[in-house]
């Protein structure tokens, strides 16, 4: 027993020098959660053995209903393995038989207290000592009755710990809060199982209090930064900080008042930016600034007037682009720019004439192309007629050049006749 206690103490110091922070679901609040761990200080430790033993410990806590489903608890289950006997079997090839004692320990991973321990002997055979060692560990079964008794004893001691030493837990929580380690404090409280009803209820109340305290602190920081930004006329930055303050914060009302004050400043700045954009013909930018002004702002009426001017300016600019496209006979761009013209503007009325002009220009171009195509066809027919006439004359078959011309004339004659048939 003394050896097991010493082993647990060394293992816990190595694994839990820093408190772990984790989230706990409602399902896990109803029971004690135990985390399986394997120490590198275990005799015979190597990665394959550690992987196998960790899997077996996971199987135990899962089978016994104390697994955390990936959550971390201060209460840990670990194991230590001792080789009791080793024998070389007279087989071909020789095999190694090992008898190992596995000691299972349940304790507090933070304070180092041991709550329960049990041992069982397992046997394994393999081609070498490692194979025999791991084969023995494979016989560990999570549903074994010894683990039911062992964990039941440990859980009772954990519950007693919380009932008898809850003041120490809450004192530690207060110290964490004083150091502004809010998440660690909440995690410490969430470790308390629901079966410790009185302590559990007190812990839940403290969690709510800590949560509010943390929100208040963050909110106060945001408010302070926002006030600094306002003093330097960095309105947008202040606006973002103030909107991040939740309603539950004590300084929420104060933040709303400051927000109302700076929104007029933001809108005034937006109005000036819109005017500057309009002066340079940057209508899209002007519209963006105008529509960012809130209806509740004192600048809203002026923004509506600017919006009408921007609408006319944007449409007028689109009309000029459409006219330039029409001049270069780029009808796709004409249609693109006409679609940008807003209804109800002067440019919208003028664009109607532009549309008619585009239709007329399209017709003229189509007629011109048709005449050009007809002329080309007529010229080609005349040329073919001349060649057909020339084909009526005798052509000597002894001349290779004449034979080539005769073949060409024959093809052209066929083409001409086909056209005439049409």
Q: What is the DSSP string of 8-53?
A: HHHHHHHH-SS-------TGGGGS---EE---TTSTT--HHHHHHH
Q: pLDDT band at 147, cuts 50/70/90?
A: very high
Residue 219 burial (10 A CB sphere; 0-12, 13-18, 19+): buried
Q: How many alpha carbons fall within 13 Å on the CB side of residue 15?
A: 27
pLDDT at position 408 is 59
Which run of H or of E encompasses 203?
Answer: helix 197-231
Residue 110 has pLDDT above 50, yes or no: yes
pLDDT at position 162 is 85
What pTM was estimated for this model as a whole?
0.48
pLDDT at position 100 is 92
The pLDDT of 338-363, averaged and rounded, is 80
The pLDDT of 176-183, averaged and rounded, is 90
Residue 72 has pLDDT above 70, yes or no: no
Identify the top-confidence range among 214-228, 294-308, 347-361.
214-228
Residue 419 has pLDDT above 60, yes or no: no
Higher pLDDT, 124 or 289: 124
Q: How many alpha carbons fall within 13 Å on the CB side of residue 143?
A: 0
SS3 at position 83: strand
**In the structure, how many helices (H) and strands (E) does the chain have?**
13, 4
Residue 345 has pLDDT above 60, yes or no: yes
Q: By mean pLDDT, which of 56-65, 175-184, 212-221, 413-422 is the weakest?
A: 413-422
The three-point CA angle 100-103-109 to 5° equals 145
Residue 420 has pLDDT above 50, yes or no: yes
Cis peptide before 93 (omega within 30 of 0): yes
Mean pLDDT across the chain: 79
Residue 57 has pLDDT above 90, yes or no: yes
pLDDT at position 21 is 34
Q: By mean pLDDT, which of 54-63, 293-302, 409-418 is the weakest?
A: 409-418
The pLDDT of 120-143, averaged and rounded, is 92
**What is the rounded distance in angstroms from the CA atom of residue 154 to the CA atom of residue 109?**
13
Alpha helices in 281-345 (DSSP H): 283-291, 300-327, 331-340
Identify the top-confidence range among 14-28, 36-50, 248-262, 383-397.
248-262
Please state, for a pLDDT cut of 90, what percent of the chain lies above it: 23
For 399-410, the pLDDT digits (tens) are 554 555 556 566
Cβ proximity of 251 and 245 under 8 Å: yes
Q: pLDDT band at 106, cuts 50/70/90?
A: very high
CA nearest neighbour of 29 among 209, 207, 178, 246: 207
Question: Distances in Å between the alpha carbon of 91 and those of 6, 65, 94, 97, 131?
Answer: 40, 43, 5, 11, 16
**197 φ, ψ to 5°?**
-50, -55
Strand pairing partners for 124? 98
């Amino acid at each position: 027993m003394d050896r097991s206690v010493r082993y647990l103490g060394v293992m816990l110091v190595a694994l839990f020098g820093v408190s772990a922070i984790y989230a706990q679901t409602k399902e896990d609040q109803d029971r004690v959660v135990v985390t399986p761990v394997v120490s590198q200080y275990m005799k015979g430790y190597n990665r394959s053995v550690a992987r196998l033993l960790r899997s077996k410990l996971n199987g135990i806590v899962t089978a016994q209903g104390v697994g955390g489903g990936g959550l971390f608890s201060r209460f840990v289950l670990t194991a230590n393995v001792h080789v009791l006997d080793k024998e070389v079997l007279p087989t071909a090839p020789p095999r190694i038989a090992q008898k190992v004692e596995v000691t299972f320990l349940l304790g507090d991973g933070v304070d180092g207290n041991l709550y329960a321990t049990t041992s069982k002997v397992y046997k394994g055979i393999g081609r070498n000592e490692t194979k025999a060692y791991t084969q023995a560990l494979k016989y560990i079964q999570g549903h074994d009755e010894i683990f039911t008794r062992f964990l039941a004893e440990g859980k009772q001691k954990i519950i007693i710990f919380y009932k008898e030493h809850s003041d120490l837990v809450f004192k530690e929580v207060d110290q964490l809060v004083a150091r502004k380690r809010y998440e660690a404090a909440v995690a410490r409280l969430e470790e308390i199982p629901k079966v410790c009803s009185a302590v559990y209820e007190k812990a839940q109340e403290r969690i709510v209090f800590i949560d509010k305290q943390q929100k208040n602190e963050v909110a106060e920081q945001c408010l302070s930064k926002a006030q600094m930004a306002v003093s330097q006329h960095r309105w947008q930055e202040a606006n973002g900080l103030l909107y991040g303050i939740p309603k539950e914060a004590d300084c929420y009302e104060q933040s709303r008042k400051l927000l109302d004050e700076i929104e007029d400043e933001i809108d005034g700045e937006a109005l000036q930016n819109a005017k500057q954009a309009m002066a340079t013909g940057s209508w899209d930018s002007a519209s963006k600034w105008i529509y960012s002004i809130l209806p509740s702002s004192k600048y809203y009426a002026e923004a509506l007037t600017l919006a009408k001017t921007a609408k006319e300016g944007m449409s007028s600019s689109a009309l000029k682009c459409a006219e330039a496209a029409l001049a270069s006979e780029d009808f796709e761009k004409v249609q693109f720019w006409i679609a940008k013209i807003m209804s109800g503007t002067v440019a919208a009325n003028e664009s109607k004439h532009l549309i008619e002009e585009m239709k007329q220009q399209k017709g003229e171009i189509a007629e011109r192309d048709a005449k050009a195509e007809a002329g080309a066809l007529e010229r080609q027919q005349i040329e073919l007629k001349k060649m057909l006439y020339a084909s009526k004359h005798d052509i000597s078959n002894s001349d290779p050049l004449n034979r080539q011309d005769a073949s060409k004339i024959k093809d052209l004659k066929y083409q001409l006749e086909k056209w005439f048939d049409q």
